Chain A
Amino acid sequence: EIVLTQSPGTLSLSPGERATLSCRASENVGNNYLGWHQQKPGQAPRLIIEDASIRATGIPDRFSGSGSGTDFTLTINKLEPDDFAVYYCQQYARSPITFGGGTKIEIK
């Protein structure tokens, strides 16, 4: 199975700053079938990026995804209070679908 490793585990940032999250795959993610999900405490995850770089419906353009192959990045520009959460990457290129361990963005 494709193992996804996210870094860092925790990011301590202030509102208005930029967040850069990394997701590294153990092997090539075909067709860039990689998504990013946001999860807030007590809530279900929510898709924010699909196919590595396509924002999901209703997601503001301060969120952007990039990368291909084995290295992917989620960037959040000008962090807003609502963005402080845990972010997971997910690959769906090959079964079994797998998730990374998550990056928590906390308020500094």
Chain B
Amino acid sequence: QITLKESGPTLVKPTETLTLTCTFSGFSLSTEFEGVNWIRQSPKRGLEWLALFYWNEDNRYNPSLKNRVTVTKDSSKSQVVFTMTDVDPDDTATYYCAHSSGWTTDLWGQGIPVTVSS
């Protein structure tokens, strides 16, 4: 059974770096075609895909984030870490990590609400 859960701060100040962790179980990122996506949702932007950490580390990013986003893996802890630099209030959203097998986003974490405010 695959599970994913997001953790991290729920309040971040403008210009700071947001770091979120996705802790997962039930699959391995060493297995072919497995991946972990980061997706956010806000009333203004709807659902917005941000990044994908892929099994072969051929990671993908949404170019709209202009190189502000990075995803890395901590294999020893079955975690994927998401970082977004220079946040501003427009980055306020619920952030989800989600499993992919192949390219299909097939299971979502519960999400973590993040507010960017001074």
Q: Determine if chain A interacts with chain B.
A: yes
A contact patch SS: loop
Residue B103 CB within 8 A of the other chain? yes
Partner of B106, one of A56, A88, A95, A99: A56
Residue B11 CB within 8 A of the other chain? no
Q: Do A44 and B49 touch across chains, with their CB atoms under 8 A apart?
A: no
Question: Complex Cα distance A51/B105, Å?
Answer: 11
Hey, which chain A residues are within 8 Å of B109, CB to CB? 44
In this complex, how many residues of chain B approach chain A with their Cβ under 8 Å: the count is: 22
Question: Complex Cα distance A73/B64, Å?
Answer: 28
Q: Do A97 and B96 touch across chains, with their CB atoms under 8 A apart?
A: no
Question: Complex Cα distance A55/B70, Å?
Answer: 32
Question: Complex Cα distance A90/B41, Å?
Answer: 14
Hey, which chain B residues are within 8 Å of A95, CB to CB? 52, 60
Residue B116 CB within 8 A of the other chain? no
CB distance from A42 to the nearest CB of B (A): 10
1/0 per position for A40-57, CB-CB distance to B under 8 A? 000011110011000010
Give the number of residue pairs across the A-B interface with Cβ within 8 Å.
53
Q: Do A50 and B47 touch across chains, with their CB atoms under 8 A apart?
A: no
Hey, which chain A residues are within 8 Å of B106, CB to CB? 47, 50, 56
- Measured CB to CB, the nearest residue on chain B to A98 is B49
Q: Do A97 and B37 touch across chains, with their CB atoms under 8 A apart?
A: yes
With A47-B106, A102-B46 as given contacts, are A96 and B96 in contact (CB-CB < 8 Å)?
A: no
Partner of B47, one of A33, A45, A93: A45
In this complex, how many residues of chain A approach chain B with their Cβ under 8 Å: the count is: 21
Task: Give B59-103 interface residues, CB cut-off 8 Å to A.
Answer: 60-64, 96, 100, 103
Q: Do A33 and B103 touch across chains, with their CB atoms under 8 A apart?
A: yes
Hey, which chain B residues are within 8 Å of A56, CB to CB? 106
Q: Do B104 and A47 touch across chains, with their CB atoms under 8 A apart?
A: yes
Residue A65 CB within 8 A of the other chain? no
Residue B110 CB within 8 A of the other chain? yes
List the 3 closest pairs (A to B, CB-CB), nearest first: A99-B47, A97-B49, A44-B108
